[in-house]
């Protein structure tokens, strides 16, 4: 299992569009992917779970990834967060 801390760097925080980007990326992999925000752990492959999370600009969130392709999933998801979800 991999655990990596990433930061929400887009000014609008985690809203529908970034949540969709995270879900689409996570769904490309067989590994289980969870997002942990303020001790709340949600399935990153579920758009409804992601939208319900309160992650504002500057929030640090933890990605928990477990499975055969966890290394590839980690790199892909880190790239999604680093892109600021295409908002900057």
Q: Are the beta carbons of 44 and 78 closer than 8 angstroms?
A: no
pLDDT of residue 35: 97
Is 15 part of the annotated catalytic residue set?
yes
Interatomic CA distance for residues 61 and 81, integer angstroms = 10
Question: How many separate domains does the chain show?
Answer: 1
pLDDT of residue 54: 87
CA–chain centroid gap for 20, Å, is: 10
pLDDT band with cut points at 50, 70 and 90 for residue 86: confident
- Residue 9 sits in a domain whose CATH number is 3.30.1340.10
**Model confidence at 88: pLDDT above 80:** no
CA–chain centroid gap for 38, Å, is: 14
pLDDT of residue 87: 86
Tell me: the pLDDT tens digits for 11-68? 999 999 999 999 999 999 999 999 999 989 999 999 999 999 989 999 999 999 999 9
Q: What is the pTM of this model?
A: 0.94
Query: 37 forms bridges with which residues in the sheet?
Result: 40
Q: Which of these is catalytic: 4, 9, 15, 20?
A: 15
Range of the domain at 47: 2-86
């Amino acid at each position: 299992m991999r655990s990596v801390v990433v930061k929400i760097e887009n000014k609008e925080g985690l809203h529908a569009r970034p949540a969709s980007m995270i879900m689409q990326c996570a769904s490309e992999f067989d590994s289980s992917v969870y997002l942990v925000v303020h001790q709340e752990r949600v399935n990153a492959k579920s758009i409804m779970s992601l939208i319900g999370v309160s992650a504002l600009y500057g929030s640090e969130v933890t990605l928990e990834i477990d499975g055969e392709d966890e290394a590839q999933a980690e790199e892909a998801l880190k790239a999604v967060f680093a892109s600021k979800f295409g908002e900057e």
